[in-house]
């Protein structure tokens, strides 16, 4: 009960502080993290990052094979990057996005075969916990 009241209180405070302009709301999350097949047969997925040092979504799942990954930086302030964490996944994936300025998007393409979890990160914000995981299904 105490915890419930506490969260009500927090919600009230958050709702109350709406004065200072609109928050940098992420565009509609529809489709983010969803794997579709491009006309050329390559599976494709789009994820997003923004000013909160997170990937949205931080997890997505693909099938073994070729992957076309687009990362959108919806931030207004922060530059991000995208790379697979070195030495962490079942096999190395060299493709990366070294610099992604606010408002930019970039697409990388790679092939992956071994099932398992492939951790990825923003190289600028590992200290702030900007990580995610791509799972390759079996
Ligand atoms: Cu970042």
pLDDT value at position 138? 78
Instruction: Measure CA 27 to chain center.
Output: 14
In a domain, 19, yes or no: no
Per the structure, the count of domains in the chain is 1
C-alpha of residue 101 to centroid of ligand 1, in Å: 10
pLDDT value, residue 22: 43
Distance 125 CA to ligand 1 centre (A): 5
Centroid of ligand 1 to alpha carbon of 134 (angstroms): 17
Residue 67 lies inside a defined structural domain of this protein: yes
For the entire predicted model, the pTM comes to 0.78
The pLDDT score that the predictor gives to residue 30 is 60
* Domain of residue 114, CATH code: 2.60.40.420
CA of 2 relative to ligand 1 center, distance in Å: 36
Range of the domain at 132: 29-136
- Running DSSP on this structure, what letter comes out for residue 108? E
| 55 CA distance to ligand 1 middle (Å) | 9
CA 51 to ligand 1 centroid distance, Å:
8
pLDDT (tens digit, 0 to 9) for every residue of the chain, 138 residues total?
444 444 444 444 444 444 444 444 444 456 999 999 999 999 999 999 999 999 999 999 999 999 999 999 999 999 999 999 999 999 999 999 999 999 999 999 999 999 999 999 999 999 999 999 999 997
In a domain, 22, yes or no: no
128 part of a folded domain: yes
C-alpha angle 125-128-132 in degrees, rounded to nearest 5: 75
Query: Could you write out the DSSP letters of every residue in 21-87?
Result: S---PPP--TTTT--EE-TTS-EEEEEEE-TTS-EESSEEEE-SEEEEEEEEE--SS--EEEEEPTT
**13 SS3 class:** helix
């Amino acid at each position: 009960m105490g915890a419930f009241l506490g969260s009500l209180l927090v919600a009230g405070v958050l709702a109350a502080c709406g004065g200072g302009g609109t928050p940098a709301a992420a565009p509609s999350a529809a489709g983010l993290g969803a794997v579709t097949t491009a006309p050329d047969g390559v599976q494709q997925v789009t994820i997003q990052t923004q000013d909160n040092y997170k990937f949205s979504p931080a997890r997505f799942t693909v099938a073994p094979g070729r992957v076309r990954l687009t990362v959108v930086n919806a931030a207004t302030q922060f530059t991000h990057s995208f790379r697979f964490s070195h030495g962490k996944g079942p096999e190395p994936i060299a493709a990366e996005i070294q610099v992604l300025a606010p408002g930019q998007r970039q697409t990388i393409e790679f092939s992956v075969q071994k099932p398992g979890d492939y951790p990825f990160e923003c190289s600028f914000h590992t200290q702030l916990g900007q990580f995610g995981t791509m799972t390759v299904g079996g």
